[in-house]
Structure 1
Amino acid sequence: MRAAVLREYGEPLKIEEREPPTPEPHGAVVAVEACGICRSDWHAWMGHGEWADDQVPRGQVLGHEPAGEVVAVGEQVTALTVGDRIAVPFNLGDGTCHYCRNGYGNVCVNDRALGFQPEAPGAFAEQVHLPWAEYNAMRLPEGVSARDVAAIGCRFMTAFHGLAHRAALGPGDWLAVHGCGGVGLSAVHVGKALGARVVAVDVNESALGRASDLGATEVVNATECEVPATIQALTDGGAHVSMDALGIAETCRNSIRSLRRRGEHVQVGLSTDAERGEVSVPTDYMARHELSFHGSRGMPPTRYDELFGLMQAGAVTPGKLVSREVALSDVSDRLDAMTRYEVEGVEVVTDFAN
């Protein structure tokens, strides 16, 4: 099978021929129909994460936002059959640890991170292996395309989990979203679906235009104002929930200072080598105003049904985020475009033969 392999950080991925995976007794093999290209792939491609002992090794097949069709199952798997169409989460839980048993499989103590660890080769490939398949596989509802589910991938489900499960965003609340890339635009769309009023912040007018199309009530160009003060004024005292969807020091601190008293900050964006995993935050300000700081990673597999239900009801349409469909051989170019912040929305690999 063809697969895109990380050989050198920051250099084009190598399209290589590899042996197709065979399922572990608890696993399944999926023929990939679509896989999103995410900024987390860019972090891996750039070699970020060494400061947290989280650097993706050379030789890794990247790609962590797949959907496709089951083509083989392990001997212990009875709840899945060949031909089932499924979504594959990137945060793979074993289904047995304390966290998995209590609904938090996204932070499983034995987890495998799809596309980021040698034990979990990724989905920039014609086929991908899914471990602990009965716990992790999420069947696609009727009428939901693999392309749209790839748009859910890491970014949409992470935004949904962060706003609906980690924070307590409710109807009528103000939500501020800092950074309107894939996860930020997902957060705008999810926030609108949950009944919130959304302020979208970016430095790119085209990205802000997309945010408006997805339901943002207000848009703020960060190059033209002092962001926290502007949001405080627009929301009559600050956002109830604010998300840093980019991960640089400026957006993290702006997000915190955009909150009203007892507001909730959600950290989704990962840092670059400028921050090396650490950002100083205004702790006195947070204590004085009783602000909450939530980390958020992916989404428990057991809660996919909530998101699929919103899709079937038409409350969210992740396909609207897809800006481009590309071939496997295009992935390196699209990762390079992320370096220059030239990617808008969600780009998805749908052609694995070229």
Structure 2
Amino acid sequence: MRAVVFQGTGEPLSVEEVDRPECDEDGIVVETEACGVCRSDWHAWQGDWQWIGMMPTPGLVFGHEPAGTVVEVGENVDRFRPGDRVTNPFNLGCGSCHHCRGGRGNICERSVPMGFLPIQGGAFAEYYPVRNADHNVVKLPDGVDPVDVAGLGCRFATAFHGLVHRVDVTPGDWVAVHGCGGVGLSAVHIADALGANVIAVDLAEEKLDRARELGADRVVDVTEVEDVPQAVKKHTESSRGADIAVDALGIAETCQNAMNSLGKGGQHLQIGMTTSDEGGQVSLPVDTMVTDEREFYGSFGTPPNEYDEIFRMMETGKLEPGRIVSERISLDEVPGVIENLGDYDTVGIPVCDTF
């Protein structure tokens, strides 16, 4: 089968003929219909995140935001049959640890990230495997376009999990989203669906325009202000500051700006992960966090049991992940799109749907 293959840190990705994945007794094999192209692919290609154990090796098939049709089922799998249309989170759980049993499989003690480690190949390929299928795999509702689902496995689902299950967003809250790439635009759309007043923060006019289309009530162009946190606060009631601030990029500047844009008792949601410049470490205003009782939360993917919540909101039209899809591309175009993500000029989510 054809697949996008990692050749080494910073080395050009290539589309090659590789062996079709084998189906283990607890897993399934899926024929790929769509797979989102994510900035996380770029981070892995650049060699980021070794400090948290994500170390791709040459020969690894990339891709972690999939949707497709089951073609093979392991002998121990009960919930799926060939022909089922499915998706899955990128961070695959074991299904049996304390966190998986408690509905938090996204932080499984033995989590395996799809398309980042050699033991779990990805979905930039004609076929992809999923381990522990009864725990990790999610059936798609009838009529759902796989392209609309392709961003759910990472960006959209991470933003949803964070805003719905990690922080406390209530109607009328001020939510400031710092960084309007794919995950940031997802956060804007989700926060708007939850009834929040949304402030989008970025330096690209095109991304801010898209944020407005997806529900942002106010925007802050960081190229036009000297103090980003104060510019955010001026948009909030009595300039009191944001109730929720989301860092959807993961660089020190956006993380610090997000935290400093909060009001007293505010909650910071960290979705973006850092680059090699930060190495996983960012300094924060600890004393102000103490005196203002500001809280810091992380969101890492989503457990499979939360997908039904997304699907129900899609069914009523409150959530439309497909609106964030920016372009449809072929497998041959994937390497170039990943490599160009370092320019930070992609608006929305590119999705590969031709294999």
Q: TM-score, normalised by structure 1?
A: 0.98
Q: Provide the residue aligned with 1:198 in structure 2.
A: 198
Indicate whether 1:155 and 2:155 are aligned: yes
The alpha carbon displacement at 1:58 in A equals: 2.5
The alpha carbon displacement at 1:337 in A equals: 1.8
Indicate whether 1:118 and 2:118 are aligned: yes
> Whole-Å Cα distance in 1 between the matches of residues 103 and 42 of structure 2?
29
Query: What aligned pairs does 1:86-125 form with structure 2 within 5 A after superposition?
Result: 86-125=86-125
Task: Say which SS state the counterpart of residue 223 (structure 2) adopts.
Answer: coil
Q: Provide the residue aligned with 2:232 in structure 1.
A: 231
What is the number of equivalent residue pairs in this alignment?
352
Q: Provide the residue aligned with 1:263 in structure 2.
A: 266
Q: Provide the residue aligned with 1:132 in structure 2.
A: 132
> Cα RMSD between the aligned structures?
0.9
Alpha carbons 1:334, 1:343 under 8 Å: kept: no
The alpha carbon displacement at 1:260 in A equals: 1.0
> Whole-Å Cα distance in 2 between the matches of residues 52 and 110 of structure 1?
13
The alpha carbon displacement at 1:142 in A equals: 1.3
> Whole-Å Cα distance in 1 between the matches of residues 24 and 233 of structure 2?
53
Q: TM-score, normalised by structure 2?
A: 0.97
Q: Provide the residue aligned with 1:21 in structure 2.
A: 21
Structure 1 residue runs of 5 or longer lacking an equivalent are: none
Q: Provide the residue aligned with 2:354 in structure 1.
A: 351
Indicate whether 1:307 and 2:321 are aligned: no
Task: Say which SS state the counterpart of residue 155 (structure 2) adopts.
Answer: helix
> Counterpart of 2:235 in structure 1: which amino acid?
L
Alpha carbons 2:89, 2:152 under 8 Å: kept: no
Alpha carbons 1:158, 1:297 under 8 Å: kept: yes
Between 214-223 and 331-340, report the one with greater CA deviation.
Answer: 331-340
Alpha carbons 2:8, 2:57 under 8 Å: kept: no
Structure 2 residue runs of 5 or longer lacking an equivalent are: none
> Whole-Å Cα distance in 1 between the matches of residues 296 and 305 of structure 2?
24
The correspondence for 2:298, drawn from 295, 299, 305, is: 295
The correspondence for 2:247, drawn from 244, 254, 263, is: 244
Query: What aligned pairs does 1:48-59 form with structure 2 within 5 A after superposition?
Result: 48-59=48-59
> Whole-Å Cα distance in 2 between the matches of residues 296 and 106 of structure 1?
9
Q: Provide the residue aligned with 2:68 in structure 1.
A: 68
Indicate whether 1:324 and 2:330 are aligned: no
Q: Provide the residue aligned with 1:283 in structure 2.
A: 286
Q: Provide the residue aligned with 1:166 in structure 2.
A: 166
**Offset from partner CA, 1:293-333 (integer Å, 9 cap, x none):** 00110001111100111111110111011111011111121
> Counterpart of 1:202 in structure 2: which amino acid?
D
Task: Say which SS state the counterpart of residue 189 (structure 2) adopts.
Answer: helix
The alpha carbon displacement at 1:179 in A equals: 0.3
Alpha carbons 1:170, 1:195 under 8 Å: kept: yes
